[in-house]
A and B are shown apart, each in its own frame.
Chain A
Amino acid sequence: MEWLRIFVSRFLGLLRKRKLESDLDSELRSHIEALTEENIRRGMSREEARFAARREFGGVEQTKESYRDQRGLPFFETLAQDLRYAVRMLVKSPGFTAVTLLTLALGIGANTALFSLVNSVLLGNLPVRNPQELVVIKYTDSRSQQANEDFSYPMYQAIRDKNTLFANVLTRSGLDFNASYGGQSERAVGEMVSGNYFETLGVQPFLGRLIGPEDDRTPGAHSVAVLSYGYWQRRFGSDPGLVGKDIVLNNNPIRVIGITPPGFYGTELARNPDIRVPMMMATVFRPVPANRLQSSRHRWLTVLARRKPEVTLAQAQASLDILYHQVLSAELQELGSTVNAHDKERALASRIQLEPGNQGFAHLRGEMERPLLLMFSVTGIVLLVACANLANLLLARNAKRKQEISVRLAIGAGRGRLVRQWLTESLLLSVLGGCAGIVVAYWAKTALLGFLPANFSANLHAPMDLRVLGFALIASLVTGLLFGLAPAMQLSQTGVSLALRDDSPSIASGERLFSLRSALIFLQVALSLPLLIGAGLFLHSLRNLRGVNTGFVKENVFLATLNPSMNGYPQERIKSLYDDLLARVRTLPGVRAASLTTGSAISGSWDQEGVKVEGYQPGPDENMSPNAAVISPGYFATMGIPFVEGRDFTEQDTSVRPKVAIINETMAHYFFGSKEALGKKIGTNDDPKVPPDMEIIAVVKDAKYVHLSEAPRRHFYVPMAQEPRLFDMTLQVRTVDDPEKIGDLVRAQVHDLDANLPLYATTTLEIQIDDSLTQERLLTWLSSLFGLLATMLASLGLSGVVAFSVARRTREIGIRMALGAQPGDILRNVVSHMALLVIAGMAVGLAAAYGLSRLLGSMLFEVGSADPLAYAGACLLLGVIAALAAYLPAQRATQVDPVVALRYE
């Protein structure tokens, strides 16, 4: 503790400086006076005595100085002194300060904003107890090597009850609810959770109690729910009286028993369920298939376990794999001959794979990892370019301060001390810039989140927490060192005599300086070009996506989804409701066509269904599951998808008539080649004894179904009227003009038909397609923005260097012109060095871009990583900007008047 006492006393010494100073003064004075008197007593004259006393005492000022060093904190005092000086220098050149701070604020701000996203998406843990003990349980398919995380309920039970190395194993499954309360219904995001869910995660209720094992015993018997804090706040105005009351979920009264704490979002980032119900309620909320909780064939659950602290991931995996195979063999035994030998073998060859679960189910992370890291690297490069630029600015300023340095050196300043002071200056700049950067980052982060689809951004907050602020601070300090070190070192090498001589800007003294500054220009060009090329690649890719032939007419289509099955209606009522709705909407003014479908185009979701095809023998592992959609008559007319041959479904294709289907060209070609497809039969019944029973009545043109970038897919359609069970369907309405105008009319019709039926996901086809390109658009905009920013910084630097060299060489240019050089010669002379630098930088930048762009690969659509358009465009743009940046200041050199130039200085 002694160091602490010393520090405190020294620190107090700092604060009471004036008082202590006068104390010291009088103490020393009285010492010298006492000495003097003593000397007089010994017989010296007063004058002599005083002199002797001084000699005996030693240097008064030196004593004071070393006393002060002992008293205060010299490090901090020097720092304060340097800071004061630095502030004075910054205030004196407001232009320089403003440019520097702006550059830094943008550079550090962009990095911090990206880091806040990286922090919450890639680094953040689940907000639960000891998240590092959690593991996600998956299994790997032996052949495709793909990890799969869906388990059946019996398998979950086996893992939960028979394992020995986990403290607890939870399961969950997402679903949506039609939630009503106080006469108002809406769609809510929900989750079914096992009874040990909250216990395993270690979450305490905010209000009431949470779902426990006692709430998850008997199928269908536990009508309780837990609400999330956000939903409770948003929908119920934080009413504490809600706990104990009933809300209506899919027409079932459900008792609210508690509220989860704020900040808890469950087991997956950016998917934040509003309502959680016990897993046993699956029989009520997802009644089909009825044996959902008993069947080992329905894999619909994700499983998260908490490892016992002493157990490693590898041990748990080995032990669980054995258990998994035991259960699997027993299940296959039970299924007997309904599963063929090939499939059995394949199932048994799968392997359990455990992954760290500290981030829960990291789907979002998998999706955003590459784009995020890419953009984070891009902002890092921009910051580097900014550093190089600032280093250049400081070098230019050094040149102006040479005389000041020489004077300081001449009167005894140490070089180390000078370097320290210069570094203090650049660190002050970078920390100030970093503070402004935090503001920029906050703003930029909010803007970035605004770009993401609403279902992400609503639950992804990316808070500016301590880690983010710490990052901003470290980024600032590193930046300050990066751009400050070279100028400071260079400055400290200034010779005393050299600079003190009449400061003539001779050509020779400029050489060293010139080369360091050239290197920085070269670096900036070499760093900026790959960014521009990256932006070009994304731009080209986005253009390709926008230009994709979708196979349908995307303009003027209104979309809305509804799900009457959630209200527990019988199938007849659902069917008549859909029919009535279609009939009503078709008579609305401005409606050209209307239809219903289970597969809304480019919505990112799709259905696949296994088929058997008349006269087609599939191979052992052949994928026999084309995309499938259930549609109403008029679907193809609404979408503008042309028929190749055959007819549309009609009102006559009812459940009592022969079954029919429509397939697309790719599917026709895949199964029937050049032979006629019309009249052939396909079937979806998975019992091998039932022959294909749906007659193909038409072949339609291909379209894009899930993503714009997809390869042609096999796709078939079946009529709504012949589908035994209907769930949610999307209504699509083709209008004469602006499709958004029809929204309110449609909503009124739905409300009129059934007031308890929420209409959700209302949008237009064009917007839905645009939303599907969010990530591509974001990448394109950000990479263009940062690419241009880096290029602007580089060209500013270039411009500055040219202007500087012209200014220094005014006299030389004057002489040349007096000797008869033409303006063109001068221009060439001034710019040629720069041109070489830029070309060299571009060459290196090109090579780097070529190497790095391979990494983009899968993020690009129909654009090779060596896309000539992007490379040529980027080079041209950079070349033109660089030429302009060099030409404008160089132009001034040609306007030098020889007479003036020679008198200059």
Chain B
Amino acid sequence: MAQTRGEVLQGTLDLIVLKTLEALGPLHGYGIAVRIQQVSADLLKLNQGTLYPALLRLEQRGWISSKWGVSDNNRKAKYYSLTRSGRKQLLAETESWERMAALMTRLLGRAEGA
């Protein structure tokens, strides 16, 4: 189904953002959006605007922090970086995601086999 490809589950977007910040260090919203698009190629179709409420939500939970700075091309930009509790959260979520993925794979694999 073509439509499901573009949809991003809320928890998933959080995980992606956290992972991106872990991999690349402090980054502004545009940077995060570009990175997500690069990594996912065309698999993930994301309205870049939806990133911002997600960033705010992560910040409210204390997983990321933000600071105003100047971007490469001399523009004022807000830089987001991972906090300690964000790292912990990333670890926990990665683990649970992998468990879930493994489970789904097994389930679907068996279903196909039958």
Question: For residue A26, which residues in chain B have a CB less than 8 angstroms away from its CB?
Answer: 76
7 contacts between A and B (CB under 8 A): A6-B60, A26-B76, A30-B71, A34-B75, A67-B53, A70-B57, A70-B60
Surface stretch bound by B, among A52-60, A280-288, A305-313: A52-60
Are the CB atoms of A57 and B47 closer together than 8 Å? yes
B96 on the interface (CB 8 Å rule)?
no
Q: Please tell me if the beta carbons of A58 and B60 are within 8 angstroms of each other in the complex.
A: no
Residues 66-80 of B, flagged 1 when their CB comes within 8 A of A and 0 if not, give 000001010111100
> Is B108 part of the binding interface, using a Cβ–Cβ cutoff of 8 Å?
no
For A63, give the chain B residue with the smallest CB separation.
B49
Which of B34, B53, B61, B78 has a CB less than 8 Å from the CB of A6? B61
> Interface code A2-41, partner B: CB below 8 Å = 1, 0 otherwise?
1001100110000000000001101110110111011000
Give a binary string over B39-72; 1 marks a CB under 8 Å from any A CB, 0 the rest: 0000000011110110011011110000000010
Since A23-B78, A67-B52 are in contact, a sample of 18 more A-B pairs with Cβ atoms closer than 8 Å, ordered by chain A residue number, is: A2-B62, A9-B59, A10-B60, A27-B52, A27-B77, A28-B49, A28-B52, A30-B76, A56-B47, A57-B49, A58-B49, A60-B49, A63-B50, A63-B52, A66-B53, A69-B53, A70-B56, A71-B56
Q: How far is the CA of A63 from the CA of B29 in the complex (A)?
A: 13
Task: Check B53 against A31 for contact (C-beta < 8 Å).
Answer: no
- Where chain A touches its partner, the secondary structure class is helix
Q: A45-82: which have CB < 8 Å to B?
A: 56-60, 62-63, 66-67, 69-71
Contact check, A2 vs B61: say whether CB atoms are below 8 A apart: yes
Q: Is the CB of A31 within 8 A of B30?
A: yes
For residue B15, which residues in chain A have a CB less than 8 angstroms away from its CB? none
Instruction: Give Cα A6–Cα B59 distance, bound, in whole angstroms.
Output: 9
- Closest A residue by C-beta to B78: A27
Known: A6-B60, A27-B29, A34-B30. A59 touches B49 (CB 8 A): yes
Q: Within 8 Å CB of A70, what residues of B?
A: 53, 56-57, 60
Distance (whole angstroms) from the CB of A405 to the closest CB of chain B: 32
Contact of A35 with B48 at beta-carbon distance under 8 Å, contacts A23-B78, A30-B76, A67-B53 already known: yes
Contacts of B47 in A (CB 8 A): 56-59
Seen from chain B, the residues whose Cβ lies within 8 Å of a Cβ on chain A are: 28-30, 33-34, 47-50, 52-53, 56-57, 59-62, 71, 73, 75-78
Are A30 and B30 closer than 8 Å at their CB atoms? yes
* In contact, B52 and A24 (Cβ under 8 angstroms): yes
Tell me the bound Cα distance from A34 to B52 in angstroms. Answer: 15
Q: Are B48 and A5 in contact (CB under 8 A)?
A: no
Q: Are A37 and B73 in contact (CB under 8 A)?
A: yes
Q: Chain A residues near B52 (CB, 8 Å)?
A: 24, 27-28, 63, 67
Residues of B within 8 A of A38 (CB): 34
Number of interface residues, chain A, beta carbon within 8 A: 29
Interface residues of A (CB under 8 A from B): 2, 5-6, 9-10, 23-24, 26-28, 30-31, 33-35, 37-38, 56-60, 62-63, 66-67, 69-71
Cβ contacts under 8 Å, B59 to chain A: 9
Contacts of A56 in B (CB 8 A): 47-48
Inter-subunit contact B30/A35 (CB<8 Å):
yes
Find chain A residues with CB under 8 A from B30 CB.
30-31, 34-35
A70 to B58 CA separation, bound complex (whole angstroms): 11
How far is it, in angstroms, between the C-alpha of A66 and the C-alpha of B54 when the chains are bound? 10
In whole angstroms, what is the CA distance A37 to B53 when docked? Answer: 24
> Bound state CA distance, A31 and B49, in angstroms?
9
Instruction: Name which residue of chain A comes closest to B54, CB basis.
Output: A70
- Which of chain B's residues have a CB closer than 8 A to the CB of A28? 49, 52
Shortest C-beta distance, A286 to chain B (Å), equals 75
A71's nearest neighbour on chain B, judged by CB, is: B56
| Cβ-closest chain A residue relative to B62 | A5
Q: Which residues of A contact B73 (CB under 8 A)?
A: 34, 37
Residues on B with C-beta less than 8 A from A2 are 61-62
Contacts of B62 on A, CB cut-off 8 Å?
A: 2, 5
Specify which of A9, A24, A35, A59 is in contact with B60 (CB 8 Å cutoff).
Answer: A9
Q: Which residues of A contact B77 (CB under 8 A)?
A: 27, 30
Residues of B within 8 A of A63 (CB): 49-50, 52-53
Q: Pick the contact of A62 from B34, B49, B78 — CB < 8 Å?
A: B49
Q: State whether A30 and B60 are in contact (beta carbons under 8 Å apart), knowing that A35-B30, A58-B50, A63-B52 are contacts in the complex.
A: no
Residue among B30, B47, B71 with max Cβ neighbours from chain A (10 Å)? B30
Which B residue sits closest to A6, measured CB to CB? B60
Cβ of B61 to closest chain A Cβ, rounded Å: 7
What residues of chain A lie closer than 8 Å to B33, measured between beta carbons?
31
Nearest chain-A residue to B45 (Cβ)?
A56
Shortest CB distance B81–A (Å): 15
Name which residue of chain B comes closest to A56, CB basis. Answer: B48
| Bound Cα distance A59, B60 (Å) | 23
- On chain B, the residues within 8 Å of A5 by CB distance are 60-62
Instruction: Identify the interface centre among B50, B52, B57: most chain A CB within 10 Å of its CB.
Output: B52
Residues of B within 8 A of A33 (CB): 75
Task: Give the one of B29, B49, B57, B73 with max A CB within 10 A.
Answer: B49
Tell me, in angstroms, the Cα distance from A235 to B61 when the chains sit together.
Answer: 64
Q: Which residues of A contact B76 (CB under 8 A)?
A: 26, 30
Q: Which residue of B lies closest to A20 (CB)?
A: B56
Contacts of B75 in A (CB 8 A): 30, 33-34
Docked Cα-Cα span, A30 to B77, in Å, equals 7
With most chain A CB atoms within 10 A of its CB, the pick from B47, B60, B77 is: B60
* Chain A residues positioned under 8 Å from B60 (CB to CB): 5-6, 9-10, 70
CA distance A26 to B75 in the complex (A): 10
A23 to B78, CA, bound (A): 9
Contacts of A57 in B (CB 8 A): 47-49
Please indicate the chain A residues that have their CB under 8 angstroms from the CB of B34 in the complex. Answer: 38
Distance between Cα atoms of A5 and B33 in the complex (Å): 27
Report the nearest B residue to A55, measured CB to CB. Answer: B47
A58 to B46, CA, bound (A): 9
Tell me if B53 and A58 are in contact (CB < 8 A): no
CB distance from B68 to the nearest CB of A (A): 8
Q: Smallest Cβ distance from A4 to chain B, in angstroms?
A: 11
